[in-house]
Protein backbone atom coordinates (compact mmCIF):
# COMPACT_ATOMS: atom_id res chain seq x y z
CA UNK A 1 0.00 0.00 0.00
CA UNK A 2 2.60 2.59 1.14
CA UNK A 3 6.28 1.95 0.57
CA UNK A 4 9.37 4.01 1.37
CA UNK A 5 12.42 3.10 -0.73
CA UNK A 6 15.79 4.48 0.38
CA UNK A 7 14.31 7.84 1.33
CA UNK A 8 16.64 10.58 2.52
CA UNK A 9 15.93 14.13 3.61
CA UNK A 10 18.31 17.04 4.18
CA UNK A 11 17.44 20.41 5.71
CA UNK A 12 20.14 23.10 5.53
CA UNK A 13 22.91 20.50 5.18
CA UNK A 14 21.52 18.54 8.13
CA UNK A 15 20.45 14.94 7.55
CA UNK A 16 16.93 14.46 8.89
CA UNK A 17 16.21 11.04 7.36
CA UNK A 18 18.95 8.52 6.59
CA UNK A 19 18.00 6.12 3.82
CA UNK A 20 14.79 4.71 5.32
CA UNK A 21 12.88 1.85 3.72
CA UNK A 22 9.69 0.19 5.00
CA UNK A 23 6.23 -0.93 3.88
CA UNK A 24 2.77 -0.32 5.32
CA UNK A 25 0.19 -2.87 4.20
CA UNK A 26 -3.37 -1.97 3.26
CA UNK A 27 -5.64 -1.76 6.30
CA UNK A 28 -2.83 -1.54 8.87
CA UNK A 29 -2.52 1.05 11.60
CA UNK A 30 1.17 1.84 11.93
CA UNK A 31 2.47 4.00 14.77
CA UNK A 32 5.70 5.91 14.15
CA UNK A 33 7.36 6.69 17.45
CA UNK A 34 10.55 8.27 18.74
CA UNK A 35 11.96 11.22 20.59
CA UNK A 36 11.59 14.79 19.33
CA UNK A 37 13.71 15.39 16.25
CA UNK A 38 13.97 11.72 15.27
CA UNK A 39 12.25 12.28 11.91
CA UNK A 40 8.83 10.80 12.59
CA UNK A 41 6.72 13.83 11.58
CA UNK A 42 8.94 14.43 8.54
CA UNK A 43 8.25 10.84 7.48
CA UNK A 44 4.50 11.31 7.90
CA UNK A 45 4.42 14.58 5.94
CA UNK A 46 6.23 13.00 3.03
CA UNK A 47 3.27 10.71 2.41
CA UNK A 48 1.07 13.64 1.34
CA UNK A 49 4.01 15.60 -0.11
CA UNK A 50 3.92 18.42 2.43
CA UNK A 51 7.64 17.60 2.59
CA UNK A 52 9.49 16.21 -0.43
CA UNK A 53 12.33 13.69 -0.08
CA UNK A 54 15.84 14.73 -1.07
CA UNK A 55 16.29 11.31 -2.64
CA UNK A 56 14.54 7.95 -2.80
CA UNK A 57 10.96 7.05 -3.66
CA UNK A 58 7.60 6.82 -1.90
CA UNK A 59 5.03 4.55 -3.53
CA UNK A 60 1.32 4.19 -2.96
CA UNK A 61 -0.23 1.11 -4.53
CA UNK A 62 3.00 0.64 -6.46
CA UNK A 63 3.05 4.13 -8.02
CA UNK A 64 5.54 6.85 -7.18
CA UNK A 65 3.66 9.73 -5.54
CA UNK A 66 6.00 12.28 -7.14
CA UNK A 67 4.24 11.64 -10.44
CA UNK A 68 0.74 12.12 -9.01
CA UNK A 69 -1.32 15.29 -9.03
CA UNK A 70 -0.66 16.75 -5.58
CA UNK A 71 -4.23 18.02 -5.09
CA UNK A 72 -5.78 14.66 -5.94
CA UNK A 73 -3.18 12.92 -3.79
CA UNK A 74 -4.08 14.98 -0.72
CA UNK A 75 -7.83 14.79 -1.28
CA UNK A 76 -7.54 11.02 -1.15
CA UNK A 77 -5.99 11.21 2.32
CA UNK A 78 -7.45 12.24 5.66
CA UNK A 79 -5.22 14.36 7.88
CA UNK A 80 -5.61 14.88 11.63
CA UNK A 81 -3.14 16.97 13.65
CA UNK A 82 -2.64 17.84 17.31
CA UNK A 83 -4.34 21.23 17.03
CA UNK A 84 -7.28 19.68 15.08
CA UNK A 85 -6.77 22.02 12.10
CA UNK A 86 -10.42 23.09 12.21
CA UNK A 87 -11.24 26.42 10.58
CA UNK A 88 -12.37 28.63 13.51
CA UNK A 89 -14.65 30.82 11.36
CA UNK A 90 -16.57 27.80 10.07
CA UNK A 91 -19.20 25.76 11.84
CA UNK A 92 -18.72 22.08 12.54
CA UNK A 93 -20.95 21.35 9.55
CA UNK A 94 -18.91 23.58 7.24
CA UNK A 95 -15.63 22.10 8.47
CA UNK A 96 -16.76 18.55 7.75
CA UNK A 97 -18.33 19.35 4.40
CA UNK A 98 -15.54 21.47 2.92
CA UNK A 99 -13.77 18.75 0.90
CA UNK A 100 -17.06 17.08 -0.05
CA UNK A 101 -18.17 20.39 -1.57
CA UNK A 102 -14.85 20.94 -3.32
CA UNK A 103 -15.33 17.53 -4.91
CA UNK A 104 -18.80 18.66 -6.04
CA UNK A 105 -20.87 15.93 -4.41
CA UNK A 106 -24.62 16.52 -4.47
CA UNK A 107 -26.39 18.04 -1.47
CA UNK A 108 -28.16 14.85 -0.43
CA UNK A 109 -24.91 12.88 -0.38
CA UNK A 110 -23.13 15.63 1.57
CA UNK A 111 -25.86 15.76 4.21
CA UNK A 112 -26.05 11.98 4.58
CA UNK A 113 -22.27 11.63 4.81
CA UNK A 114 -21.98 14.45 7.36
CA UNK A 115 -24.56 12.83 9.63
CA UNK A 116 -22.88 9.46 9.13
CA UNK A 117 -19.42 10.61 10.24
CA UNK A 118 -20.89 12.53 13.19
CA UNK A 119 -22.51 9.32 14.37
CA UNK A 120 -19.26 7.49 13.71
CA UNK A 121 -17.37 9.71 16.18
CA UNK A 122 -20.14 9.64 18.77
CA UNK A 123 -21.50 13.18 18.47
CA UNK A 124 -25.13 14.14 17.95
CA UNK A 125 -25.42 15.96 14.61
CA UNK A 126 -28.42 18.06 15.62
CA UNK A 127 -26.63 19.27 18.73
CA UNK A 128 -23.21 20.04 17.29
CA UNK A 129 -23.32 20.79 13.55
CA UNK A 130 -24.15 24.48 13.93
CA UNK A 131 -21.56 25.14 16.63
CA UNK A 132 -18.16 26.72 16.08
CA UNK A 133 -14.91 25.00 17.18
CA UNK A 134 -14.44 27.47 20.05
CA UNK A 135 -17.71 26.21 21.54
CA UNK A 136 -16.40 22.65 21.78
CA UNK A 137 -14.16 20.90 24.29
CA UNK A 138 -10.74 19.67 23.20
CA UNK A 139 -12.01 16.11 22.89
CA UNK A 140 -15.03 17.20 20.84
CA UNK A 141 -12.81 19.23 18.53
CA UNK A 142 -10.60 16.22 17.92
CA UNK A 143 -13.66 14.07 17.18
CA UNK A 144 -14.69 16.63 14.56
CA UNK A 145 -11.16 16.54 13.16
CA UNK A 146 -11.41 12.77 12.85
CA UNK A 147 -14.90 13.04 11.30
CA UNK A 148 -13.61 15.47 8.67
CA UNK A 149 -10.66 13.19 7.89
CA UNK A 150 -13.01 10.23 7.31
CA UNK A 151 -15.69 12.24 5.43
CA UNK A 152 -14.45 11.45 1.92
CA UNK A 153 -13.78 7.78 2.79
CA UNK A 154 -10.08 8.09 1.95
CA UNK A 155 -7.89 5.03 1.70
CA UNK A 156 -5.20 6.59 3.88
CA UNK A 157 -5.48 8.56 7.13
CA UNK A 158 -2.49 10.49 8.48
CA UNK A 159 -2.56 11.38 12.19
CA UNK A 160 0.17 13.55 13.73
CA UNK A 161 0.03 13.25 17.55
CA UNK A 162 -3.73 13.94 17.44
CA UNK A 163 -4.45 13.12 21.09
CA UNK A 164 -1.31 14.38 22.83
CA UNK A 165 -2.80 17.70 24.03
CA UNK A 166 -5.86 16.10 25.63
CA UNK A 167 -6.46 15.13 29.24
CA UNK A 168 -5.75 11.46 30.07
CA UNK A 169 -9.38 10.29 30.27
CA UNK A 170 -10.40 11.93 26.98
CA UNK A 171 -7.24 10.62 25.37
CA UNK A 172 -8.00 7.05 26.45
CA UNK A 173 -11.56 7.37 25.17
CA UNK A 174 -10.42 8.60 21.76
CA UNK A 175 -7.82 5.85 21.55
CA UNK A 176 -10.56 3.29 22.23
CA UNK A 177 -12.80 4.90 19.63
CA UNK A 178 -10.02 4.85 17.05
CA UNK A 179 -9.48 1.15 17.73
CA UNK A 180 -13.22 0.56 17.22
CA UNK A 181 -13.30 2.60 14.00
CA UNK A 182 -10.29 0.80 12.61
CA UNK A 183 -11.82 -2.58 13.40
CA UNK A 184 -14.90 -1.57 11.36
CA UNK A 185 -13.36 0.38 8.49
CA UNK A 186 -9.85 -1.08 8.08
CA UNK A 187 -8.27 2.11 6.77
CA UNK A 188 -4.54 2.44 6.26
CA UNK A 189 -3.58 4.73 9.13
CA UNK A 190 -0.17 6.25 9.84
CA UNK A 191 -0.12 7.58 13.41
CA UNK A 192 2.76 9.64 14.83
CA UNK A 193 3.16 9.56 18.62
CA UNK A 194 5.82 10.00 21.28
CA UNK A 195 3.93 7.76 23.75
CA UNK A 196 4.87 4.06 23.77
CA UNK A 197 1.74 3.12 25.74
CA UNK A 198 -0.39 4.73 23.04
CA UNK A 199 1.49 2.98 20.24
CA UNK A 200 1.13 -0.40 21.90
CA UNK A 201 -2.57 0.16 22.52
CA UNK A 202 -3.63 1.18 19.01
CA UNK A 203 -1.08 -0.10 16.48
CA UNK A 204 -0.83 -3.20 14.32
CA UNK A 205 2.85 -2.35 13.83
CA UNK A 206 5.24 0.09 15.49
CA UNK A 207 8.07 1.89 13.71
CA UNK A 208 10.66 3.06 16.26
CA UNK A 209 12.89 5.84 14.95
CA UNK A 210 16.05 7.43 16.30
CA UNK A 211 18.24 10.09 14.74
CA UNK A 212 16.63 9.82 11.30
CA UNK A 213 16.79 6.03 11.11
CA UNK A 214 14.33 3.19 11.60
CA UNK A 215 15.64 1.19 14.54
CA UNK A 216 12.92 -1.49 14.65
CA UNK A 217 9.71 -2.04 12.70
CA UNK A 218 7.50 -4.85 13.91
CA UNK A 219 4.32 -5.77 15.74
CA UNK A 220 3.95 -4.49 19.32
CA UNK A 221 4.20 -8.06 20.62
CA UNK A 222 7.45 -8.81 18.78
CA UNK A 223 9.01 -5.52 19.81
CA UNK A 224 8.11 -6.20 23.45
CA UNK A 225 9.43 -9.74 23.35
CA UNK A 226 12.42 -9.17 21.07
CA UNK A 227 13.80 -5.61 21.16
CA UNK A 228 16.52 -5.49 18.53
CA UNK A 229 19.09 -3.53 20.53
CA UNK A 230 19.78 -1.63 23.74
CA UNK A 231 18.16 1.54 22.44
CA UNK A 232 14.83 -0.24 21.89
CA UNK A 233 15.13 -2.04 25.22
CA UNK A 234 15.61 1.26 27.01
CA UNK A 235 12.90 2.95 24.96
CA UNK A 236 10.23 0.38 25.83
CA UNK A 237 11.56 -0.48 29.30
CA UNK A 238 13.75 -3.22 30.70
CA UNK A 239 13.41 -6.54 28.87
CA UNK A 240 14.44 -9.07 31.51
CA UNK A 241 10.81 -10.05 32.01
CA UNK A 242 10.69 -11.39 28.45
CA UNK A 243 13.54 -13.88 28.93
CA UNK A 244 11.02 -16.50 30.11
CA UNK A 245 7.60 -15.06 29.23
CA UNK A 246 5.82 -18.37 29.75
CA UNK A 247 6.49 -18.00 33.48
CA UNK A 248 4.94 -14.54 33.73
CA UNK A 249 1.30 -14.93 34.76
CA UNK A 250 -1.69 -12.64 34.60
CA UNK A 251 -1.71 -12.47 38.40
CA UNK A 252 1.84 -11.06 38.31
CA UNK A 253 1.04 -8.07 36.14
CA UNK A 254 -2.63 -7.29 36.78
CA UNK A 255 -3.94 -4.22 38.56
CA UNK A 256 -5.05 -5.83 41.80
CA UNK A 257 -7.70 -3.33 42.84
CA UNK A 258 -9.56 -2.16 39.73
CA UNK A 259 -12.22 0.48 40.22
CA UNK A 260 -15.60 -1.20 40.70
CA UNK A 261 -19.25 -0.24 40.98
CA UNK A 262 -22.51 -2.04 41.72
CA UNK A 263 -25.19 -2.74 39.10
CA UNK A 264 -27.92 -0.52 40.56
CA UNK A 265 -26.02 2.77 40.72
CA UNK A 266 -26.87 5.47 38.18
CA UNK A 267 -24.84 6.39 35.12
CA UNK A 268 -24.35 9.83 36.64
CA UNK A 269 -22.65 8.31 39.67
CA UNK A 270 -20.54 6.15 37.35
CA UNK A 271 -19.28 9.24 35.54
CA UNK A 272 -18.42 10.91 38.85
CA UNK A 273 -16.59 7.81 40.01
CA UNK A 274 -14.63 7.58 36.74
CA UNK A 275 -13.62 11.22 36.98
CA UNK A 276 -12.64 10.94 40.62
CA UNK A 277 -10.59 7.80 39.97
CA UNK A 278 -9.20 9.04 36.63
CA UNK A 279 -10.31 5.95 34.72
CA UNK A 280 -12.49 5.49 31.64
CA UNK A 281 -14.25 2.29 32.70
CA UNK A 282 -15.63 0.50 35.75
CA UNK A 283 -15.92 -3.18 36.62
CA UNK A 284 -19.54 -3.91 37.61
CA UNK A 285 -19.71 -6.48 40.42
CA UNK A 286 -22.22 -7.87 42.91
CA UNK A 287 -21.73 -7.81 46.67
CA UNK A 288 -19.69 -11.02 46.48
CA UNK A 289 -17.31 -9.47 43.91
CA UNK A 290 -18.51 -11.60 41.02
CA UNK A 291 -17.97 -9.68 37.78
CA UNK A 292 -21.28 -8.90 36.08
CA UNK A 293 -20.09 -6.63 33.28
CA UNK A 294 -17.91 -3.70 32.24
CA UNK A 295 -19.09 -0.14 31.64
CA UNK A 296 -16.98 2.44 29.80
CA UNK A 297 -17.34 6.18 29.37
CA UNK A 298 -18.19 5.47 25.74
CA UNK A 299 -21.19 3.36 26.81
CA UNK A 300 -22.47 6.25 28.89
CA UNK A 301 -21.70 9.35 26.83
CA UNK A 302 -24.55 9.02 24.32
CA UNK A 303 -27.18 8.10 26.89
CA UNK A 304 -29.56 10.99 27.42
CA UNK A 305 -30.93 9.76 30.73
CA UNK A 306 -28.02 9.53 33.16
CA UNK A 307 -30.29 8.40 36.00
CA UNK A 308 -30.78 4.87 34.69
CA UNK A 309 -28.78 2.11 36.34
CA UNK A 310 -25.44 0.96 35.00
CA UNK A 311 -26.75 -2.57 34.44
CA UNK A 312 -28.81 -1.26 31.51
CA UNK A 313 -25.71 -0.32 29.48
CA UNK A 314 -22.87 -2.48 30.79
CA UNK A 315 -21.13 -4.94 28.47
CA UNK A 316 -21.81 -8.48 29.65
CA UNK A 317 -19.97 -10.17 26.76
CA UNK A 318 -16.49 -9.38 28.01
CA UNK A 319 -13.30 -11.33 27.35
CA UNK A 320 -11.61 -12.55 30.54
CA UNK A 321 -8.36 -14.13 31.67
CA UNK A 322 -7.47 -16.55 34.45
CA UNK A 323 -4.87 -15.53 37.07
CA UNK A 324 -2.67 -18.42 35.88
CA UNK A 325 -2.81 -17.49 32.17
CA UNK A 326 0.58 -16.59 30.70
CA UNK A 327 1.27 -13.07 29.53
CA UNK A 328 1.70 -14.36 25.98
CA UNK A 329 -1.84 -15.75 26.11
CA UNK A 330 -3.14 -12.42 27.39
CA UNK A 331 -1.39 -10.53 24.57
CA UNK A 332 -2.89 -12.90 22.00
CA UNK A 333 -6.29 -12.36 23.61
CA UNK A 334 -5.92 -8.60 23.30
CA UNK A 335 -4.76 -8.82 19.68
CA UNK A 336 -7.32 -11.37 18.52
CA UNK A 337 -10.31 -9.63 20.08
CA UNK A 338 -9.06 -6.04 19.54
CA UNK A 339 -9.71 -5.11 23.16
CA UNK A 340 -7.85 -2.83 25.57
CA UNK A 341 -9.04 -4.26 28.91
CA UNK A 342 -9.00 -7.83 30.21
CA UNK A 343 -10.55 -8.57 33.62
CA UNK A 344 -8.87 -11.39 35.53
CA UNK A 345 -11.32 -13.82 37.16
CA UNK A 346 -10.76 -16.95 39.20
CA UNK A 347 -12.62 -20.21 38.57
CA UNK A 348 -15.57 -18.99 40.66
CA UNK A 349 -15.95 -15.82 38.59
CA UNK A 350 -14.60 -13.52 41.29
CA UNK A 351 -12.84 -10.40 40.04
CA UNK A 352 -9.18 -10.63 41.00
CA UNK A 353 -7.70 -7.86 38.89
CA UNK A 354 -7.54 -6.05 35.55
CA UNK A 355 -5.01 -5.95 32.73
CA UNK A 356 -5.06 -2.96 30.37
CA UNK A 357 -3.17 -2.91 27.09
CA UNK A 358 -1.94 0.64 27.55
CA UNK A 359 -0.51 0.02 31.02
CA UNK A 360 0.97 -3.40 30.28
CA UNK A 361 4.51 -2.30 29.46
CA UNK A 362 4.69 0.32 32.20
CA UNK A 363 3.49 -2.12 34.87
CA UNK A 364 5.86 -4.87 33.82
CA UNK A 365 8.89 -2.64 33.41
CA UNK A 366 8.40 -0.98 36.80
CA UNK A 367 7.91 -4.29 38.55
CA UNK A 368 11.19 -5.69 37.29
CA UNK A 369 13.11 -2.43 37.60
CA UNK A 370 12.24 -2.49 41.30
CA UNK A 371 13.47 -6.11 41.51
CA UNK A 372 16.73 -5.17 39.80
CA UNK A 373 17.33 -2.33 42.27
CA UNK A 374 16.82 -4.72 45.21
CA UNK A 375 19.25 -7.22 43.67
CATH of the domain at 197: 3.40.50.300
- The answer to whether residues 61 and 171 belong to one domain is yes
Same domain, 147 and 189: yes
* pTM of the predicted structure, to 2 decimals: 0.66
Clarify whether residues 63 and 172 are in a common domain.
Answer: yes
Judgement on whether residues 196 and 254 belong to the same structural domain of the protein: no
pLDDT > 50? residue 374: no
Instruction: Determine, yes or no, domain membership for 139.
Output: yes
Lowest mean pLDDT across 127-141, 142-156, 241-255: 241-255
Check whether residue 233 and residue 333 sit in a common domain.
Answer: no
For residues 81 and 167, membership in a common domain is answered with yes
Are 190 and 24 in contact by the 8 Å Cβ rule? The answer is: yes
One domain, residues 25 and 67: yes
Among 203, 237, 271, the domain boundary falls at 237
d(CA 326, CA 251): 9
Counting runs of H as helices and runs of E as strands, what totals does the chain give?
A: 15, 15
- Is the predicted pLDDT of residue 312 greater than 60, yes or no? yes
**Residue 242 resides in a domain:** no
* 375 assigned to some structural domain: no
- The per-residue pLDDT for 165 is 78
Q: Which domain holds residue 308?
A: 247-367
How confident is the model at residue 328, as a pLDDT?
Answer: 81
Q: In this structure, are 116 and 179 located in the same domain?
A: yes
State the pairing for strand pair 156-160/77-81: parallel
Residue 237 has pLDDT above 80, yes or no: no
Tell me: do 135 and 61 sit in the same domain: yes
> Band of the pLDDT at 352, cuts 50, 70, 90?
very high
Q: How many domains does the chain have?
A: 2
141 and 162 within one domain: yes
Q: Which one of 202, 237, 272 terminates a domain?
A: 237
CA distances from 156 to 12, 20, 93, 236 (A): 30, 20, 22, 28
Amino acid sequence: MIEFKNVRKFFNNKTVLKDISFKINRGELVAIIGASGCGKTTTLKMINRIIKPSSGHILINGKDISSKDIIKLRRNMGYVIQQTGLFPHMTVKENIEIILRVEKHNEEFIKDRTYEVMEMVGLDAEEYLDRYPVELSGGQQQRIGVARAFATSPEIILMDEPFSALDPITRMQLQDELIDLQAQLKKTIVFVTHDMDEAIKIADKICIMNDGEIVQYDTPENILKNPCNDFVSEFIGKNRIWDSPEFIKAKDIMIENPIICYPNISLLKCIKKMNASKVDSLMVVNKYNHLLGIVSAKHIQNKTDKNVSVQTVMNVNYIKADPEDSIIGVLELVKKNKISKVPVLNKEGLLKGLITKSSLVTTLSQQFLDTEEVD
